[in-house]
């Protein structure tokens, strides 16, 4: 999915989780596993911004992952 689609999915899922929210964080990551690995090596909760994934994607496709806090 495109970055805009991934951002929309993230926001919609966050709205659904708001009442019964478990201890998780939704993050947008590159879709390709090789790009994801590079992104996750860099990723820290305090440096995460939704558009950070744009720097790591080689095919401009993204997905939403659940990160345990």
Domains identified in the chain, total number: 1
This prediction's pTM? 0.82
| Residue 46 belongs to domain spanning | 3-68
Question: What are φ and ψ of residue 52, in 5° steps?
Answer: -60, -35
Q: What is the mean pLDDT of residues 59-67?
A: 94
Which value, in Å, is the radius of gyration of the alpha carbons in the chain? 12
Q: Which residues, in sequence order, are CB contacts of 60 under 8 Å at separation 6+?
A: 2, 3
Over residues 6-47, the pLDDT tens digits come to 999 999 988 887 776 666 789 999 999 999 999 999 999 899
């Amino acid at each position: 999915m495109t970055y805009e689609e991934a951002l929309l999915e993230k926001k919609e899922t966050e709205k659904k989780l708001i009442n019964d929210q478990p201890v998780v964080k939704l993050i947008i990551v590159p879709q390709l596993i090789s790009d994801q690995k590079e992104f996750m090596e860099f990723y820290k909760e305090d440096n995460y911004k939704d558009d950070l994934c744009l720097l790591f994607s080689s095919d401009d496709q993204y997905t939403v992952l659940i990160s345990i806090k």
